[in-house]
Structure 1
Amino acid sequence: MASSMTTKDGKPFERASLESLMRRRLFYTPAFDIYGGVSGLYDYGPPGCALVNNVVDTWRKHFVLKENMLEVDCTMLTPYEVLKTSGHVDKFADWMCKDPKTGEIFRADHLVEEVLEARLKGDKEARGQKAEPEVEDPKKKKKKVKNITAVKLDDSVVQEYEETLAKIDNYDGAELGLLIKKYDIKNPATGTELEPPVAFNLMFQTSIGPSSNLPGYLRPETAQGQFLNFAKLLEFNQQSMPFASASIGKSFRNEISPRAGLLRVREFLMAEIEHFVDPEGGKKHPRFDEVKDIELELLDREVQLAGKTSVKTTKIGEAVQTGLVDNETLGYFLARIQLFLLRIGVDPKKIRFRQHMANEMAHYATDCWDAELLTSYGWIECVGCADRSAYDLTVHMKKTGTPLVVREPRKEPLKVEEYQCDIAKKAFGPKYKKDGKAVEAAIEALSQELREKLSLELEKEGKITIDVPGVGDGKVEVPKDLLTIEKRTRVENVREYTPNVIEPSFGIGRIMYALCEHSYWTRENDEARGILSFPPTVAPTKVLIVPLSGNQDFKPFIREVSDKLAEIGISSRVDDSGASIGKRYARNDELGTPLGITIDFQSVKDSSFTLRDRDTTKQVRANLDEICKAIANLVDGREKWADVASRLPAFEGQEVD
């Protein structure tokens, strides 16, 4: 269920104010706006582009650089056969139901969720309880339930609704259909009964080439390109395991009912990692000890299936040791995901990791945890971390015959005792003619257990009978003169295996929006002055350069400061408008600019400048070299403002509204 939100200073969060600011200051805007727009498509403006790029840059440093990952950039157009093999053509779908009279489409699980939450709200009102502030959920249909009636429900019904909502993601289409009937859920706007839920594939279909004879899709994830290049990446990595590839790029999903701005869109930026690991030995990670004591807020599947949403603060080392998190590599990345989110400025009190329930997991996953961030829309999945086992490499290898495997010398030769089958091929062909290949394949497919049993039967009876589907009645007799089954010792000097994959997958747009909500607040006694407290590392612009006035004496200093900041790779912008310094700073507080340099008449005299902190509005004064050193340290995270303020002289004055 959705939750209420407060800003970092404890005030009620006003989403309308933030979204107004973000559109007004061009963080993002509806795409094709002058043509009326298209639902689920948005353009980023200059500050939005800069914020996304800085988040991505931090992501690269935190993961790609730190973990020595191999970054690739694969095509967004994907042939039909690739996604058919991967399972996306058949299984990448959501459940939708249709109003037969109006043709209106609803996503089934979100409709159930919306109606039950509305009834629970009506129950609270009937009991005279204070309901939480109404918030939308980005999953839900655009039209809300109207005319909520204050009706008191039986306590057992309230409990049943809450339990259903806690495990809403675990229901399949048939179960959702039963819930819709059981709870008499209809079109909230018209009261019409809906058709049973049907699967809707979320991929955008297209064709490749002028003749349109090669069907394809816009990719729903960046992962498949990484899997198809596995053998080449392994060779590039000098056959060394484990290793990880990474990819950043656009993906596409044809959402049934996109809404809630950047949280549910049809085109979005993903950053995905595919960490290839040896499945033998429990998927250990060599650096797990570095993160084992990091505490995460975990919401496991058993709690959800019990109809609850309570989290447990757990050290990741303990979670792996007890089996709550399946293996060290999965646990390592959960901890590293949290460290990344904190590094870019996400509120530590608004992060949790929720485990997928069985019916909810993607077709390729054996275990999956979502890093969810609390927003005014409720808990939103922003990062998924899945154990994809060997699914993808196995299905693509089977389809294409390409050996997507690792071959490595064994430290010690391995002696394997096994029953081997020898076929007398010269006589075998004439005996079975056109069915020869099928019979031979059936013999090769015999298990070791069955070979042992048949070897005794062959010795005793002089013949055996095996199952060969499609040949005669499905049973074929093989005499002793055509087949020998003996127990032998084979020596293996090379080990061959298909790697497993741990996949952290980041929705950059969702992370960016959640970060904006977590960073937004207003000045005390001035609700109109909105502030985005982005950390300097990811802030769109790092420094605002503010000349005290339009005096010509300031111009050389503006250029000097701008050039110096550019030399050390710090983004800045100049505001030399006629507005007061206070108003100029307030405008840039809305853009999240963390630092400001004021050029005044003292600067002309002694080349000293003031440096302002966005959040505290405190200022220090020093020469340009000291100022630039402080800025570089703040941007790189080596210092906080308190450190700078403790070593540079404070400056009072200057800023007035």
Structure 2
Amino acid sequence: MHRQLILVQKVYTRVGLVLQTPPQKPFLKPISLFSKSLIPSSFRIFTTNLRSPLMDPQETSLRQALAGKQAAIDAQANAVRELKASKAAEKAAIDAAVEALKGLKMEKSSIEEELQSIVKSNGGDSKETFRQNLINTLERKLFYVPSFKIYGGVAGLYDYGPPGCAVKQNVLTYWRQHFVMQENMLEVDCPCVTPEVVLKASGHVEKFTDLMVKDEKTGACYRADHLLKDFCKEKLEKDLSLSAEKAAEFKQVLALLDDFSSEELGAKIKEYGITAPDTKNPLSDPYPFNLMFQTSIGPSGLSSGFMRPETAQGIFVNFKDLYYYNGNKLPFAAAQIGQAFRNEISPRQGLLRVREFTLAEIEHFVDPQDKSHRKFREVADLEFFMFPRELQVSGESAKKMVIGDAGTVNNETLGYFIGRVYLFLTSLGIDKERLRFRQHLANEMAHYAADCWDAEIECSYGWIECVGIADRSAYDLRAHTDKSGVSLVAHEKYAEPKEVEKVVITPVKKELGLAFKGNQKMVVEALEAMDEKEAMDMKANLESKGEVEFNVCTLGKSVTLNDKMVTIKKEKKKEHQRVFTPSVIEPSFGIGRIIYCLYEHSFYTRPSKAGDEQQNVFRFPPLVAPIKCTVFPLVQNQQYEEVAEQIAKSLAGAGISHKIDTTGTSIGKRYARTDELGVPFAITVDSTSSVTIRERDNKQQIRVNVDEVASVIKEVTDGQSTWADVQWRYPAHSSISADE
């Protein structure tokens, strides 16, 4: 027992922890010396997090202080505005409030200077410098490169090189394991080319647009909202003379940007004097541009199609067969990984906004009357940053909340997937301190959505939406039912027949035809798709006013109906089953965006041993690392090279990606090369019987027999053990050669 305590004390000491009292809990019952239970789970979590991309503690503290100071400034600025607006406020009180605001701004400036000094000392002069160093490394190591580079490239198109392909495949493999396998989802693979009729039904043909402006002299195209957004952000961040009133105006513009019409957007661009970024020429008025790539199916060109802008529609149109395959039971989920295409107006920000990208989407079909989830309690205690709309509207920052207590998420199934997305992203290596879940504001949500949250990850470009988790209600299945004439519905059989009161909607097609002519069919379809509440509200309005305004989604506008155009009444019927259109909870993952944010969160520089240069390192968890380990013969020696080949063969047999480096360069330089690729483990062959294994981040080494190497690497890279576990089991090794 005493020996066990000493061993655990050594493990804790090795990772730099000081124990006041040796842990007692593991020794309450007999255990194996090689059992993971010997080390408390909290310690295993801590040591795992050593590989997470964490900020300098002082930098973290300063960033938190800066956020708090900004919140205080915003609150004080509001107080100043209220005092100035109040006729009863005395000049002395206003002056005091203004002085307090100036004092807060000076304190903020002091914190910013200190933070800038810390960031600079950590090798990060600015976001742009950090980003450029990262991108240079990514392109030089062939994680990704601009497509068709020898011909000058095409904006918004990128090629993944060998390590980039490996990282992407590892992320997708884990996505399948974490979602498809653990949730027993039905996976499908649908074509990228989609007939026009499908995307007309979904609304993409009419509404999948962005507002574009053109340089009136050169014809160069820009996305209108991006120009306005960039202008407001630059003013808020760099214009020190900006008044509180103007700052509030710019913040309001940013908050309402997604809800601006083309006229409102154009008016703001003219008001602020925004011109073409490259030439400073005047811009045209904004106009809609459809982002889908159009094509034709077949040689005649008569059958029109599009490259799909999302993968979801392929799942929706297959609902009937998937429901049958699942034994006609709800809930169930279908999943798809595939390419999607969007003809972006002005692609920028590298992998964050591209014209061809990989989506991983889930459509979870559920009874609209019961959106509970049997596994919700498994995530209910998770705590992470959430940004509900109330905090956004009040100007506050995101706060840590327990998902089970948040109270702002519409239903358990939506909350369950938010929790699962959090676990997925943090397991990949996304810093949990730079991850938040932001609820869509009312003006952002589609009219049919019950609730929607975005998983946003902070990177050098700001907060980037990487996953959308939405309750889309029954809109999609109803739209395809109306357009195709095939009922995409579910059934609940009753044990005994029930007498139910049902709303019967009867459009008067003759009257509708006279009023709306070619649009008659769309109005009829919209009327028949109404739910009971909407129908009864319409009935009440028609009876009291004789007419009603009715929004027709497929027309993109409201129409006026009178009491001669539709009859609505309730009838009692006996039914043996309930027929309903399922609701859909949709988590949608932008894989390229997640990978780019992972690159940023994993990348850092550290000084070389000589101290005269910085070494680039990717701190990938073994789960996503492109190569799990490298094998180095210490010197060019035939025996060592034969042992290296033997180890490589055993690694290949265990399915572990690896690389042999037999170059004559120093071991330190070879370590540096693999650290720059994010390889977590390096095996150095310096004898024929045993080798050393070096961990990338703490650079500590252990000694392992040759025939055990593959099994040790596999259990750590598969997550069966942590590096601390194997450190405890094998003797430490002091490097006999310069490491960096």
TM-score range, shorter chain: 0.7 to 0.9
Higher relative contact order (CA 8 A, sep 6+): 1
Is the aligned partner of 1:49 residue 2:165? yes
SS of residue matched to 1:304: helix
Is the aligned partner of 1:623 residue 2:712? no
Instruction: Determine the structure 2 residue equivalent to 1:71.
Output: 187
2:415 aligned residue (321, 328, 331): 331
1:557 aligned residue (637, 640, 643): 643
The answer (yes or no) to whether the contact 2:641–2:662 under 8 Å persists in 1 is no
SS of residue matched to 2:179: helix
Offset at residue 53 of structure 1 (A): 0.1
Question: CA, structure 1 residues 9+371, in 2 after alignment: closer, same or farther (shift >3 Å)?
Answer: farther
Could you report, residue by residue, the CA deviation over 1:131-167 in whole angstroms, capped at 9, with x for unpaired residues? xxxxxxxxxxxxxxxxxxxxx2322112222332344
Instruction: Determine the structure 2 residue equivalent to 1:652.
Output: 734
2:400 aligned residue (310, 313, 327): 313
- Two-structure CA RMSD over aligned residues (Å): 3.3
The answer (yes or no) to whether the contact 1:8–1:518 under 8 Å persists in 2 is no
Q: Which amino acid aligns with 1:224?
A: Q
Is the aligned partner of 1:528 residue 2:644? no
Tell me whether 184-193 or 28-37 shows the greater mean CA deviation: 184-193
Tell me, in whole angstroms, the C-alpha distance in 2 between the residues paired with 1:216 and 1:489. 44
Instruction: Determine the structure 1 residue equivalent to 2:587.
Output: 504
The answer (yes or no) to whether the contact 1:406–1:497 under 8 Å persists in 2 is yes
The equivalences for 1:250-269 within 5 A come to: 250-269=339-358
Is the aligned partner of 1:193 residue 2:253? no
The equivalences for 1:129-528 within 5 A come to: 152-281=241-370, 283-306=371-394, 308=395, 310-319=397-406, 322=407, 324-362=408-446, 365-416=449-500, 490-524=573-607, 525=611, 527-528=613-614
2:235 aligned residue (115, 119, 143): 119
Tell me, in whole angstroms, the C-alpha distance in 2 between the residues paired with 1:211 and 1:329. 46
Tell me, in whole angstroms, the C-alpha distance in 1 between the residues paired with 2:287 and 2:195. 25
Instruction: Determine the structure 2 residue equivalent to 1:640.
Output: 722
Q: TM-score, normalised by structure 1?
A: 0.82
The answer (yes or no) to whether the contact 2:340–2:358 under 8 Å persists in 1 is yes
Is the aligned partner of 1:543 residue 2:626? no
Q: Which amino acid aligns with 2:647?
A: V
The answer (yes or no) to whether the contact 1:172–1:359 under 8 Å persists in 2 is no
Tell me, in whole angstroms, the C-alpha distance in 2 between the residues paired with 1:521 and 1:487. 66
The answer (yes or no) to whether the contact 1:95–1:173 under 8 Å persists in 2 is yes
Question: CA, structure 1 residues 373+53, in 2 after alignment: closer, same or farther (shift >3 Å)?
Answer: same
SS of residue matched to 1:193: coil
Q: Which amino acid aligns with 1:266?
A: R
Question: CA, structure 1 residues 612+406, in 2 after alignment: closer, same or farther (shift >3 Å)?
Answer: same
Tell me, in whole angstroms, the C-alpha distance in 2 between the residues paired with 1:418 and 1:499. 18
The answer (yes or no) to whether the contact 2:352–2:593 under 8 Å persists in 1 is yes
The answer (yes or no) to whether the contact 1:345–1:534 under 8 Å persists in 2 is yes
The answer (yes or no) to whether the contact 2:410–2:450 under 8 Å persists in 1 is no
2:657 aligned residue (561, 566, 571): 571
Q: TM-score, normalised by structure 2?
A: 0.73
Q: Which amino acid aligns with 1:388?
A: R
Question: CA, structure 1 residues 582+488, in 2 after alignment: closer, same or farther (shift >3 Å)?
Answer: closer
Question: CA, structure 1 residues 107+420, in 2 after alignment: closer, same or farther (shift >3 Å)?
Answer: closer
Q: Which amino acid aligns with 1:406?
A: A
Offset at residue 58 of structure 1 (A): 0.6
Offset at residue 405 of structure 1 (A): 0.7
Q: Which amino acid aligns with 2:378?
A: E
SS of residue matched to 1:611: strand
Offset at residue 203 of structure 1 (A): 0.7
The answer (yes or no) to whether the contact 2:647–2:709 under 8 Å persists in 1 is no
Tell me, in whole angstroms, the C-alpha distance in 2 between the residues paired with 1:54 and 1:180. 44
Could you report, residue by residue, the CA deviation over 1:145-202 in whole angstroms, capped at 9, with x for unpaired residues? xxxxxxx232211222233234433433333223223333233444443222211111
Could you report, residue by residue, the CA deviation over 1:372-419 in whole angstroms, capped at 9, with x for unpaired residues? 111111111111111111111101011111111112312443222579
Offset at residue 578 of structure 1 (A): 1.1
Could you report, residue by residue, the CA deviation over 1:84-113 in whole angstroms, capped at 9, with x for unpaired residues? 110001111111122222222221111112
Q: Which has the higher helix share?
A: 2
SS of residue matched to 1:274: strand
The answer (yes or no) to whether the contact 1:87–1:363 under 8 Å persists in 2 is no
Tell me, in whole angstroms, the C-alpha distance in 2 between the residues paired with 1:209 and 1:542. 46
Tell me, in whole angstroms, the C-alpha distance in 2 between the residues paired with 1:7 and 1:348. 20
SS of residue matched to 1:39: coil
2:145 aligned residue (8, 26, 29): 29
SS of residue matched to 1:515: helix
SS of residue matched to 1:346: coil
Residue segments in structure 2 that go unaligned for 5+ positions in a row: 1-66, 68-111, 506-520, 541-547, 549-561
Tell me, in whole angstroms, the C-alpha distance in 1 between the residues paired with 2:502 and 2:152. 70
Tell me, in whole angstroms, the C-alpha distance in 1 between the residues paired with 2:266 and 2:415. 36
Tell me whether 67-76 or 403-412 shows the greater mean CA deviation: 403-412
Question: CA, structure 1 residues 621+418, in 2 after alignment: closer, same or farther (shift >3 Å)?
Answer: closer
Question: CA, structure 1 residues 30+489, in 2 after alignment: closer, same or farther (shift >3 Å)?
Answer: closer
Is the aligned partner of 1:583 residue 2:682? no
Offset at residue 117 of structure 1 (A): 2.4
Tell me, in whole angstroms, the C-alpha distance in 2 between the residues paired with 1:197 and 1:182. 14
Tell me, in whole angstroms, the C-alpha distance in 2 between the residues paired with 1:623 and 1:286. 47
Q: Which amino acid aligns with 1:250?
A: Q
Offset at residue 7 of structure 1 (A): 8.5
The answer (yes or no) to whether the contact 2:384–2:432 under 8 Å persists in 1 is no
Tell me, in whole angstroms, the C-alpha distance in 2 between the residues paired with 1:318 and 1:516. 32
SS of residue matched to 1:510: helix
Tell me, in whole angstroms, the C-alpha distance in 1 between the residues paired with 2:414 and 2:710. 40
SS of residue matched to 1:558: helix
Q: Which amino acid aligns with 1:562?
A: A
1:599 aligned residue (674, 685, 689): 685
The answer (yes or no) to whether the contact 2:474–2:584 under 8 Å persists in 1 is yes
Question: CA, structure 1 residues 266+395, in 2 after alignment: closer, same or farther (shift >3 Å)?
Answer: same
Could you report, residue by residue, the CA deviation over 1:25-80 in whole angstroms, capped at 9, with x for unpaired residues? 10001101111100000000000000000000011110001100011000000011
Tell me, in whole angstroms, the C-alpha distance in 2 between the residues paired with 1:612 and 1:555. 18
SS of residue matched to 1:530: strand
Instruction: Determine the structure 1 residue equivalent to 2:692.
Output: 610
Instruction: Determine the structure 2 residue equivalent to 1:129.
Output: none
Offset at residue 303 of structure 1 (A): 3.4
Tell me, in whole angstroms, the C-alpha distance in 2 between the residues paired with 1:9 and 1:618. 25
Q: Which amino acid aligns with 1:84?
A: K
Question: CA, structure 1 residues 191+417, in 2 after alignment: closer, same or farther (shift >3 Å)?
Answer: closer
Q: Which amino acid aligns with 2:726?
A: V
Instruction: Determine the structure 2 residue equivalent to 1:427.
Output: none
SS of residue matched to 2:497: strand
Offset at residue 264 of structure 1 (A): 0.7
Q: Which amino acid aligns with 1:611?
A: I
Offset at residue 359 of structure 1 (A): 3.3
Offset at residue 641 of structure 1 (A): 1.7
Tell me, in whole angstroms, the C-alpha distance in 2 between the residues paired with 1:398 and 1:8. 59
Question: CA, structure 1 residues 271+487, in 2 after alignment: closer, same or farther (shift >3 Å)?
Answer: closer
SS of residue matched to 1:47: helix
Tell me, in whole angstroms, the C-alpha distance in 2 between the residues paired with 1:549 and 1:199. 64
Tell me, in whole angstroms, the C-alpha distance in 2 between the residues paired with 1:526 and 1:348. 33
